[in-house]
Amino acid sequence: ITGLVAAPLAPFDQNGNLNTQILLSYTELLLANNVIGVYVNGTSGEGSLLCVEERKAIAQGWIEASHGRFQQIIIQVGTDNLKDTMTLATHAENIGATGIAVLPPVYNAPASPDAVATYLEQVSSAAPNTPLFYYHIPAWSGITFPLEDILEASSHRVPTLAGAKCTSSDLSDYCRCLRLHGGKYDILYATD
């Protein structure tokens, strides 16, 4: 992945109601500013605060508004509930997302990089044809293992693993991930 991938805000109106109609103009604005994709329902998109149906509607809204003009539409599907996460992953694949991103549970966080890999493997099985990105945001998630260790633990267990969104100030870890397995993974840097 080369180019800018935006993390858009959730489209709510002044009354707190979901307003996916605005996504068409949001898409036009992003495309006019040379943004090549969107990372939907992440931290900026308030994904962790939304119910499953709201997240599905927002994901569907971005797919419909873009009319295939974005190179990337990555849908963040992680929740604190594996069943909901898998439901969102399947939905993202079914609507044509180019990738899914996964933030593991933060309340009962995985206790090791291998445990993260197990979780990602389960989620991957719900969207077996869609590239998966691990969402690495240690300051918020409390999952502080080096990203390199998580990718290494996942590399042979998660067949759809495509990379990670790295929201960490550990540039050494980030640079190691860029070189891991000969540069196999797309590592989106998101500490801005």
User: Would residue 135 show up in a list of annotated catalytic residues for this protein?
Assistant: yes
User: Would residue 165 show up in a list of annotated catalytic residues for this protein?
Assistant: yes
Pick the catalytic residue from 134, 135, 174, 185: 135
Q: What is the pLDDT along the chain (192 residues), one digit of tens a residue?
A: 888 999 999 999 999 999 999 999 999 999 999 999 999 999 999 999 999 999 999 999 999 999 999 999 999 999 999 999 999 999 999 999 999 999 999 989 999 999 999 999 999 999 999 999 999 999 999 999 999 999 999 999 999 999 999 999 999 999 999 999 999 999 999 986
HSE-CB for 52 with a 13 A CA cutoff: 14
Pick the catalytic residue from 134, 165, 174, 185: 165
Decide: 73 and 101 in contact? Cβ < 8 Å: no
pTM for this entry = 0.95
Angle formed at CA 28 by CA 27 and CA 32, multiple of 5 degrees: 115
For 4-189, the fitting CATH number among 3.20.20.70, 3.40.50.300, 1.10.730.10, 3.30.70.260 is 3.20.20.70
pLDDT at 42: 93
Q: Sketch the domain layout of the chain as residue ranges.
A: 4-189
Query: SS3 for 97?
Result: coil
